């Protein structure tokens, strides 16, 4: 089972970064390339413990759905989303956050397994792991840009100023 770990340092408070990472609206903005939209469950605002969201996106030219549930939650340091159904055999995405001076270290760990046994393992090695790494990196770059500018206010509002 491939596991991808990406660490992103963001010049913003930990609470802001944590909330942006669990914002349905910021997620859709950060995954615009794959046209990812929330179609069921929590479809806007902030997602929390035991809540679910179903995403619809286009990957490899195919429209797909992925339903995940938040299975662990400890604001502002950790949340985990796990696939309930979707294109993978299994998927678990652990989001960790560490406060370092005036910055936040965001650590994403994505463990996934492709379906179709041997063909799935071949796909993981040939292209899927690289594709997922690039997808997460692009998403994190957008979240970093949002968190480090005033754009975060359009996703979290001023009541979550976290300054």
What are the tens digits of pLDDT across the range 146-155? Answer: 999 999 999 9
Bigger pLDDT: 124 vs 139 = 139
CA atoms within 13 A on the CB side of 72: 10
Average pLDDT over residues 127-132: 87
Question: CA–CA distance from 98 to each of 52, 68, 75 (Å)?
Answer: 25, 24, 11
- Residue 147 token pair: 């968190």
Per-residue pLDDT reduced to its tens digit, 10-29 = 999 999 999 999 999 999 99
Enumerate long-range contacts of 115-122, CB under 8 Å, 24 or more apart. Answer: 115/87, 115/88, 115/89, 120/89
Confidence check: pLDDT of 6 > 90: yes
Q: Say which residue, 73 or 114, is predicted with more confidence.
A: 73
- The number of beta carbons lying within 10 Å of the beta carbon of residue 36 is 21
Domains of the chain: 3-157 (3.30.530.20)
Burial class (CB in 10 A: 0-12, 13-18, 19+), 97: buried
- Residue 125 CA to residue 146 CA, distance in Å, equals 32
Query: What is the per-residue pLDDT for 126?
Result: 79
What is the mean pLDDT of the segment spanning 118-130?
78
Please, are residues 108 and 140 in contact by the beta-carbon 8 Å criterion? Answer: yes
The Cα–Cα gap between 158 and 121 comes to 46
pLDDT category at 163 given cuts 50, 70, 90 is very low
Task: State both tokens at 132.
Answer: 């997922």
**pLDDT (tens digit per residue) in 42-96:** 999 999 999 999 999 887 778 889 999 999 999 999 999 999 998 889 999 999 9
């Amino acid at each position: 089972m491939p596991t991808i770990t990406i660490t992103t340092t963001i010049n913003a408070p930990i609470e802001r970064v944590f909330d942006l990472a669990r914002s349905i609206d910021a997620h859709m903005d950060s995954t615009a390339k794959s046209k990812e939209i929330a179609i069921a469950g929590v479809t806007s605002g902030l997602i929390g413990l035991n809540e679910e969201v179903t995403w619809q996106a286009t990957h490899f030219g195919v429209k797909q759905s992925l339903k995940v549930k938040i299975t662990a939650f400890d604001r502002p340091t950790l949340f985990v989303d796990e696939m309930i159904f979707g294109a993978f055999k299994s998927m678990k995405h652990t989001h960790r956050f560490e406060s370092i001076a005036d910055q936040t270290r965001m650590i994403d760990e994505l463990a996934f397994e492709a379906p179709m046994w041997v063909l799935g393992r071949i796909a993981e090695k040939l292209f899927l792991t690289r594709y997922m790494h690039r997808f997460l990196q692009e998403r994190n770059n957008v979240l970093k840009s949002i968190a480090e500018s005033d754009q975060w206010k359009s996703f979290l509002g001023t009541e979550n100023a976290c300054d």
